[in-house]
Structure 1
Amino acid sequence: MIDYPSKLDTIFDKLKSHGIRPIIVGGYIRDYLVDIESKDIDIELYGISSFTELQNILKEFGSVNVVGESFGVCKLYFEEYDLDFSFPRSDNKVKSGHRGFEITIDTTLDFKTATSRRDFTMNSVGYDVVEKKILDPFGGLDDFKNKTLKAVNLESFGEDPLRVLRAVQFATRFELKIENDLFSLCKDMVTNGLLDELAKERIFEEIKKLLLYAKKPSRGFELLREFGSDLYTQNISVIDEIAKERTANKQTNIVLMLAALCYDFSQKEAQDFIEKLTDEREILNRSLLLIEKHNEIDNIYEKGLNDYRLYKLAAEVNIEELLILSSSIYFSKSGSKIYKAGEEVKKRAKELNILNKKLPALLAGKDILEFGLKPSPIFSEILNSAYEAQMRGEFKSHKDALNWLKNYLKS
């Protein structure tokens, strides 16, 4: 048995009343087997005639989004679940690249034939909600239990270069050994330059899953190196330390991981590496900033903890993120589990309430206006001087800040 949310039975009962056989497939089954809760559920439908019929059936449960009739997928957000309803289909390679397939929807296919197009045996397992039984035509359950990643079909696997990256991230996330023939095929595909056919966005999507969900993401980069890919740095042990301190924010975790991979690079080298993966400017800029500042925690501690230096640092970078990076570098290099500099800086930053934000400015442009000055470029100079004075502790209240401003303007 595979437990699925009972809330879905209202939809399944409606489908069954129309002679349609729903089968839960893909990631939900895989995640269930390793006790990972998932809100994303893929459902393949058998015995259905058309998209129009499916839309008419599902419309009472919410807004139906047809992703593309050529892909045979309808999306429905129901309760708190993202449901993907798909039709059985076959793929035919017609040109290079991940998208170079001619997709044919065929509602007459049986489950085994339809599933033969999937990448790995672990992803070819289904659960028939009508007969309440697991469908496993390619032995995926045994392979998964034996911690082995095996292709459903090596020939079709070799037609899609994205599957190499999927092999890397699945093997790393679920701690699987890649079966020998599949390993050799992945290596040949990389050696023959098939990854060059992929858009960097597609590559990054798989790398992100590796960075976000693997317990030891370094293993994924080791696999990439063994396959012959240049997506590798000598700093992979640092990302394993980062993985132990992942935040609740996925974007932040990606930034930290990329900064860790390149922390000892020059800014140009780091930018070149990150731009192999993504054109997202926020990720690039935040990563480069952390790389630039990665020694600041140690520098501040060695010079003696000083509030002004901490305020300055908080104005430039998120101190908590920098602490995660710096401590991960320290732990990976020293083997120690105690990072005295980080502990002291974190303690004082918390006391100053600047761990995740900069010191709020006590003076603003409207305060300058009250002294009779008209808006001009000099405002920013005045406010910068005021903020410096505030960080140095020359005033700590708005009243005192106004007195400081009065004296400053006189001078």
Structure 2
Amino acid sequence: MNIYKGFNENEISALEDIKNACICKKIKAYIIGGAVRDSILKVKTKDIDLCIEENPLSIIKSLKSLKDYVYYEKFQTATLYFNNNVNVDLIRCRKETYLQDGMLPIVEPATIVDDIYRRDFTVNALAYDIIEDEIIDIYEGINNINNKIIKSIHKNSYKEDCTRIFRAIKYSVRYDFKIVDDFIFEELIEKNILDTISVERYVKELYLICGEDKWVEMLRKCCKYGIIALDFNALGKNVLNSNQNEKFLNMIYCSKDKRLNKALIKNSFLNKELLNPIRKFVLNRKKVEEGLLKAQNNYDIYVVLKGMTKYELMLFSWNKNIEYKIHNYVNNIVKFHKVMGGEEIKKIIQSDGKIIGVIKENILRRNLNMLINFNYSTKNMGEILYDIEHKYR
């Protein structure tokens, strides 16, 4: 079976370059995992992983069309960047040993058979020998693809690395496959198997799910198995399906899960632009929502929301009871939050001290509630001073 039918001309060109270099060095080379699976399914693959039974450095300098590469010494892997804009992950075949469930494995160089065994599911445990033009299928991966089945390689697979549960759900929904060994999930989750992995890996798997087209269905399935608890009322509502960050934030808003909320506060996987708003939301959600519900005017809304980033505002926008106030703040209120400087006010009232701050606050209150940018002079500053004396003291 020639799986090259699943690749475009540029990808085939890059793979041929690697193939020729391996032939010269008498090194066996295999396309591995998802690229083989997707080619059989006749869907476009996202990534090309290629295994060899030597250090990638042994062939990299022989590649004629290579533009650049990044080498990772610890696992002896490299990401190759070709002149035709194709990227390939070149991996040394390895085997993995788990000393403890949930821990990252100990890795050592091995054969393609060992590398296939370390894969998560039979449908991903396929290798294509690019030199001999043949598929290596030890665990009936092709048969399971044809029968639309997700099945782990061995009985301890989910226990060794419970992130495979997330991926089983992801693949089952993405390809409409049945997970035949999902009976294991309930037992493992009841034993708190998710506590064996770091919060970074836990959050990462959920973030990756939110990058999928069928993310809502995948999250619902996660809830079904007890992996996460979500309120479905707002899940997937008013979300751009192409925006992974927005989908992830929507999931956070819908969370009823204490483990997830704790993980979000502690994790360091997310970048700060996303992480900081999420942490503030988790910690201050009740206070902000109550403040907005009590807000009587634009100024009150401004006091609650001022300084919030777009992601913080987005998180609160899924609350139907305060949605219109968020909308009003973003589209109207923030346009009128700038007021006269302290020096200008001093010149007008010929005074200094705390009164300047009070005046600025009252000008801001008027501007926001009336939605105007009004500049005060000696003639009309009296209105502000009168208000301060009689209404806001």
TM-score by length of 1: 0.69
- Residues 165 and 185, structure 2, Cα contact 8 Å, conserved in 1: yes
Give CA-to-partner distance per residue, 1:105-127, whole Å, 9 cap, x none: 12xx24x5531221101212344
In the TM superposition, what are the counterparts of 1:308-327 in structure 2 within 5 Å? Answer: 315=306, 321=314, 325-326=318-319
1:389 aligns with 2:366: yes
Aligned counterpart, 1:258: 252
In the TM superposition, what are the counterparts of 1:50-69 in structure 2 within 5 Å? Answer: 50-57=55-62, 61-69=66-74
Aligned counterpart, 1:13: 16
Unmatched runs of 5 consecutive residues or more in structure 2: 267-274, 386-393
Aligned counterpart, 2:103: 98
CA gap of 1:80–1:255, structure 2 versus 1, over 3 A, is farther
CA gap of 1:313–1:152, structure 2 versus 1, over 3 A, is same
Name the SS of the counterpart of 2:366 in structure 1.
Answer: helix
1:368 aligns with 2:355: no
Give CA-to-partner distance per residue, 1:350-390, whole Å, 9 cap, x none: xx7935x861346367x433456799988765554433222
Residue identity opposite 1:7 in structure 2:
N
- How far off is 1:59 after superposition? 9.0
Aligned residues: 362
1:74 aligns with 2:78: yes
Residue identity opposite 1:105 in structure 2:
P
- Residues 52 and 92, structure 2, Cα contact 8 Å, conserved in 1: yes
Aligned equivalents of 2:379, 2:85: Cα separation in 1: 53
- Residues 173 and 215, structure 1, Cα contact 8 Å, conserved in 2: no
* 1:42 aligned to which of 49, 67, 75: 49
Q: Please, which moves more after superposition, 371-380 or 245-254?
A: 371-380
- Residues 122 and 140, structure 1, Cα contact 8 Å, conserved in 2: yes
Aligned counterpart, 1:265: none
Residue identity opposite 2:79 in structure 1:
K
CA gap of 1:309–1:116, structure 2 versus 1, over 3 A, is same
Residue identity opposite 1:274 in structure 2:
N
- Residues 30 and 127, structure 2, Cα contact 8 Å, conserved in 1: yes
Residue identity opposite 2:70 in structure 1:
N
- RMSD between aligned alpha carbons? 4.4
Name the SS of the counterpart of 2:247 in structure 1.
Answer: helix
Residue identity opposite 2:319 in structure 1:
S
CA gap of 1:407–1:254, structure 2 versus 1, over 3 A, is same
Residue identity opposite 1:216 in structure 2:
E
Aligned equivalents of 2:51, 2:81: Cα separation in 1: 16
In the TM superposition, what are the counterparts of 1:334-349 in structure 2 within 5 Å? Answer: 345=324, 349=327
Aligned equivalents of 2:242, 2:286: Cα separation in 1: 21
- How far off is 1:164 after superposition? 3.2
Residue identity opposite 1:15 in structure 2:
I
Aligned counterpart, 2:6: 3
- How far off is 1:150 after superposition? 0.5
Aligned equivalents of 1:271, 1:55: Cα separation in 2: 47
- How far off is 1:410 after superposition? 7.8
Residue identity opposite 1:325 in structure 2:
W
CA gap of 1:9–1:358, structure 2 versus 1, over 3 A, is farther
- Residues 14 and 86, structure 2, Cα contact 8 Å, conserved in 1: no
Name the SS of the counterpart of 2:48 in structure 1.
Answer: strand
Give CA-to-partner distance per residue, 1:218-255, whole Å, 9 cap, x none: 43333432xxxxx543x44236434x724554333222
Aligned equivalents of 1:407, 1:136: Cα separation in 2: 84
Name the SS of the counterpart of 1:85 in structure 2.
Answer: strand
- How far off is 1:87 after superposition? 1.5
- How far off is 1:65 after superposition? 1.9
Aligned counterpart, 1:354: 330
1:147 aligns with 2:134: no
Give CA-to-partner distance per residue, 1:160-196, whole Å, 9 cap, x none: 33333433443344443221xx223333433444432
Aligned equivalents of 1:252, 1:290: Cα separation in 2: 18
Residue identity opposite 1:187 in structure 2:
E
CA gap of 1:401–1:15, structure 2 versus 1, over 3 A, is same
- How far off is 1:206 after superposition? 1.4
Which is greater in Rg? 2
- Residues 26 and 126, structure 1, Cα contact 8 Å, conserved in 2: yes
Percent identity, aligned pairs only, is 17
Residue identity opposite 2:369 in structure 1:
R
Aligned counterpart, 1:210: 209
- Residues 150 and 179, structure 2, Cα contact 8 Å, conserved in 1: yes
Name the SS of the counterpart of 1:241 in structure 2.
Answer: coil
